[in-house]
Chain A
Amino acid sequence: MRALSLDEGAIEVEAVGMTMRFGSFTALDSVSIRVRAGSFHALLGENGAGKSTLVKCIMGYYQPSEGGILVAGREARISDPRAAHALGLGMVYQHFTLVPALSVAENLIIAARDTQGIINWRKARARLSEFMASMPFSIPLDQQVATLAAGEKQKLEILKQLWLGRKLLILDEPTSVLTPQEADQILGHVRDLCRAGRISVLMITHKFREVMAFADEVSVLRRGRYVGGGVVAELSQAQMSAMMIGAVTLAQPSPRIGQREGVVLEIGGLCATDRSGLKDISIDGLKVHAREIVGIAGISGNGQKELMEVLTGERPRRAGHVLVKGVRWDASRAKARRLNVRFLPEEPLRNACAPRMSVAENIGFRVFDGLGTGTQFWLRPAELRQHAAQLVRQFGVKTASLDAPISALSGGNVQRAVLARELTGKVDLLVISNPCFGLDFSAVSDIRARILAARNSGAAVLLMSEDLDEILELSDRVLVMSEGRITYDRPVAQAHIHEIGAFMGGAQ
C-alpha cells in the first residue's frame, strides 16, 4: 500500500452505528461500514434494505437519528450535501445529471462551484485538457452531451466528480442503463482509479456479477441491518445471496412443462413511427407459440415501448399485420375477451391502474362489464367486491382494505393485484413489459413464478425486459431488439450472454 496524502488521493470513510428512523419505522438499524482508502466497496441489498437511506445519510440529505461519520479518520458533521462535497464526497446517480444541450467542456465548467461570473474559456479549456490527459479514459471536450452514448455519459459523470475534486464516489446502480460491455468497461476504469489511489468507491448494486468481477469488499444490508460482508475474494455468490435474502424461502420457478405448440401471435411486416417521430420500428416474422416464452432483450429506447403500444392499440401502425390465433388483432375489448389476450405493461401503477380508484375497482377492470363471456350494462358492485376479495387472497396482495386507493399499495402489491386481474381465467396470449422493475426480491420471484405457470398452462408469452437475467431465467427463446428491429433470435439453450450483449449494443 502506498501512503497517500489526504489532499490528493482517496480517503477512507466510515459510518459508525448509523440509525435512521422515520416516525415509528426504522430504515437503518445501527449500521457500521468502512470504505478503506482506495478500495472498491460494494453495497448489496434488496429494494428497501436501506442502501439508499445509508448513502443519503452519508451525503447529508438525511440527518441520522443516531451514529456518526468518520472521514479520513476524523469525525465529520455533514449537515447538507454541500458539506459532503466540501469533504470530498461525491455521488453518481442512476440517471444522468448532465445538460444534454451543452458540450462536455461546458458541462464540466458549469458543475464547478468556483466558476466565475465571467468565464475565461481559454484558461478553463487549458485546465480541462490537462485534466483529461491525466485520466485513464477521456471524452472529446467539444462533443455535445446529447450525442454521447449512455456509457459515455456515465463516464462523463464519473469524470465530472473527479474534476470536482471528489475523493470518495458513491455510485448508485451506475450500470442499470448500460450494456454489459459498457458496464464492464466503466467499472474496469473505476477499479483502475481505485487501484491508482485516486478515489475510494462505494457502489450500490444488486448485480452479483459486478460485485464478483470488480469489487474488493462488500457489505450486505437486509431490512435496515448490516447482515454480513467482507473481502469479495473470500466469498461465493451463494453466500452473498444467502445474506441478502435471509431465511425467506422464495417461490421456486415452476419447472417447464411441455413443448411449444401452435403459433398464437404472429407479426409480419409491421411498421410504425417511434416516439421521436424521426425513426421507425419495423418487426417482421415475429412468432410466439403456445406454451412458449419469447423474451425480447434490449436497452430501453430501442423500440420495445413502441411495439407494446402497437399491440395495445395506443400507437397506429403504418403497415403490416398482427394476427392472434389467425384472427386480425384490432386491440378491441371484444377481441381481447374472445381471444384471451392480456397485457401487463411496465410500471403498472402508471400504465395499468387508475391510481385514485380502489383496489377492488382496479381488480375489476377486466370484468366490470361481464364476469363471463357476455357483456352486461349494469354494474354489480357486490359481485365485483367478491371477485376482488377472492383474487386478493389467491395472489397474496397485501392491502389494508379493498377500498384503499391502489396507489397506497407498495410496488410489489400493485403488480400482484394487476397479475391477479390479468392471469385469472384462460390466458392464450400474454404480453409483458418489465414486470419486476423496482420490486423487491420476494415479489420478483413470486411474479416470475406466476408468469412461468401461465406458460405451463398453455399461454404464449411475449416478454420485453431490460433485465437480461430475467430474460434468461424465463424465456424459451431469446430475441434482441435494437434500433427498432429484431436482430437476434436463438433458443435459450444456445444463447450466450456476451453475444446477446453485443447485439444489444448494436451488432448486426
Chain B
Amino acid sequence: MAQVESMAHSMARPDWRARFARQSEAIIIPLSALVLGLAGFALFLFVQGKSPVQFFQLVWLGGFGTGFSWQNTLSRAAPLLLAGLCVAIPARLGLVVIGGEGAIVMGGVAAGAAAIVLSGLWAPFGIVAMAAAGALAGALWIGAVGALRHWRGVNETISSLLLAYIAIALMNHLVEGPLRDPASLNKPSTPTIDAALAVGKMPWPNVHWGRLTGVFACILTWILLERTAWGFAARMAGSNLRAAQVQGLPVGALILGFTAFAGCLAGLAGYFEVAAVHGSANASLAAGYGYSGILVAFLARHNPLAIIPVALLLAGFEASSGLLQRRMGLPDASVLVLQGFVFVAILASEAVYGRLRLFSPERWSRA
C-alpha cells in the first residue's frame, strides 16, 4: 500500500524528463526540416550555377545584417504574425484554413472604406473604429468558412482558398468602382486616409505599431489556447469531435468563435497594411502575406509563441529578396522557391512525429 501511495505521489508531480522528451520533439523535428529545406534549396542553386554560400550571406545581410535590414524585416513580420495566427488558431480545432489572404484583403478594404466615413472625427475614436471595421470584416470572412464547415460540412481548406479569390475580386471591383479615389490614376485605390487616422511608428524599434500588436496577439492567443477552458475545449474538439460532443461541448459555437477570432486577427493585418503602410486600400493588399502565414504556422507547429521567431525568420527571407535580385541576378520568385522547399520539408516531417524512440515519454519516464 505504501508503495502505491508513493507511486501516486510521484505521478502527481510533473515527470519532467518525459515532458521534456515530448516537447523537444516539437522543436527538433521542425528545425531539422527547416535545415533540410534550406539544404535542398542550396542544392537547387548549385545546380543552377549560383553560389549557395553567397546566397545565404546575402539573406543574412538583407534580412538581419544591418539596422536598416532589421527594420525592413520587422515591418514585414507584422502581417506574417497575424496571418500565421489565422492558420494556427483553427488548427487547434483540426481545421486547415489556408485562406487568410482573403481576410487580410477584406480587412484592408473595410478599413479603407471606414476611413472615408471617419475622416474628421475625433482621432482616437476614428482609429479604433477603423481597426474594428478591419477586424470585423476579417472575422466575417473566416467565420463564414467555419459556418460552412459546421452547418453544411463544406471542406474548410477549399472554401477558405476559394473565398480568398472572391475577396481579391471583390476588392478589385470596389477600388476600381464605388470606392475609387478619382485622383488615383494608374493604381486604383481608395482615397488616402486622413493623416490623423494613420498608424505611426514606435519609438523603438523604428517600425509601425502593427508589429507590437502582432506580438501581443501571439501572446494573447497562447494564453487563450493553453490556459483557458475555451482553449482546452477547442483542443478536445480538434483532437476528437465525437468525444467533445459526448461531453456536451458546444462544438458549433467553438468552431464559429475560433474561426471568427482567427479571421479577426487577419483582418487587423489588413488594417495595418492600409493604416500604417500604404495609406489606402489597393491591390498591394494581396501581397501573399496570407499564404506565407501558412508556412509560418506550420513551421511553428501551430504554437502561437513559436510564431514570433518563425515570422521573423521568414520576414527576413522576404526582406532580402531585393538584394538577391540586384546582387545575384536571381529572379524575384526565388524566395518563393525557397519557401516552397521549406514547406515541402515541413509537410514531409509530419510523418515522423511519434515514430522516433528518442522522444517517447515512456523511454524517459521513471516508472
Interface segment out of the listed A109-117, A399-407, A461-469: A399-407
Bound-complex Cα distance A233 to B61 (A): 88
State whether A331 and B232 are in contact (beta carbons under 8 Å apart), knowing that A393-B8, A400-B362, A404-B362 are contacts in the complex: no
Query: Least Cβ distance of B227 to chain A in Å?
Result: 5
Q: Is the CB–CB distance between B367 and A355 below 8 Å?
A: no
* Majority secondary structure, B binding face: helix
Bound-complex Cα distance A312 to B15 (A): 35
Q: Is the CB–CB distance between B243 and A352 below 8 Å?
A: yes
State whether A400 and B365 are in contact (beta carbons under 8 Å apart), knowing that A357-B235, A377-B229, A379-B228 are contacts in the complex: yes
Report which of A331, A333, A386, A403 forms a contact with B22, defined as CB distance below 8 A: A403
Q: Is the CB–CB distance between A357 and B239 below 8 Å?
A: yes
Contacts of A332 in B (CB 8 A): 248, 250
Query: Least Cβ distance of B51 to chain A in Å?
Result: 43
- Asked whether any CB of chain A lies closer than 8 Å to the CB of B97, the reply is no
Q: Is the CB–CB distance between A369 and B232 below 8 Å?
A: yes
Per the 8 Å Cβ criterion, residues 15-53 of B in contact with A are 15, 18-19, 22
Contacts of A343 in B (CB 8 A): 246
Report which of A337, A353, A364, A401 forms a contact with B367, defined as CB distance below 8 A: A401
Report which of B8, B15, B229, B232 forms a contact with A403, defined as CB distance below 8 A: B15
- Asked whether any CB of chain B lies closer than 8 Å to the CB of A345, the reply is yes
Binary per-residue interface labels of chain A (341-361) against chain B in the complex, 1 for a CB within 8 Å, 0 otherwise: 001010000111111110001
Bound-complex Cα distance A356 to B240 (A): 9
Q: Is the CB–CB distance between B228 and A401 below 8 Å?
A: no
Bound-complex Cα distance A356 to B238 (A): 10
Q: Is the CB–CB distance between B239 and A392 below 8 Å?
A: no
Q: Is the CB–CB distance between A404 and B18 below 8 Å?
A: yes
Binary per-residue interface labels of chain B (55-83) against chain A in the complex, 1 for a CB within 8 Å, 0 otherwise: 00000000000000000000000000000
Report which of A333, A377, A403, A408 forms a contact with B247, defined as CB distance below 8 A: A333
* Minimal Cβ-Cβ distance residue in A for B240: A354
Contacts of A337 in B (CB 8 A): 248
Report which of A351, A366, A378 forms a contact with B242, defined as CB distance below 8 A: A351
Bound-complex Cα distance A369 to B254 (A): 14
Q: Is the CB–CB distance between A404 and B246 below 8 Å?
A: no
Q: Is the CB–CB distance between B243 and A365 below 8 Å?
A: yes
Query: Least Cβ distance of A416 to chain B in Å?
Result: 15
Bound-complex Cα distance A211 to B242 (A): 39
- Asked whether any CB of chain B lies closer than 8 Å to the CB of A443, the reply is no
Q: Is the CB–CB distance between B229 and A376 below 8 Å?
A: yes
A selection of 29 A-B contacts at a CB cut-off of 8 Å is: A312-B245, A313-B245, A334-B248, A345-B246, A350-B240, A351-B243, A353-B243, A354-B235, A354-B243, A355-B239, A356-B239, A365-B247, A369-B232, A369-B233, A370-B229, A376-B229, A378-B228, A378-B229, A385-B14, A389-B8, A389-B11, A392-B8, A393-B7, A400-B367, A401-B15, A401-B361, A403-B14, A403-B15, A405-B354
Residue numbers of A with Cβ under 8 A of B are 312-314, 331-337, 343, 345, 350-357, 361, 364-366, 368-370, 375-379, 385-386, 389-390, 392-393, 399-405, 408
Residue numbers of B with Cβ under 8 A of A are 4, 7-8, 11-12, 14-15, 18-19, 22, 226-233, 235-236, 239-240, 242-243, 245-250, 354, 361-362, 365, 367
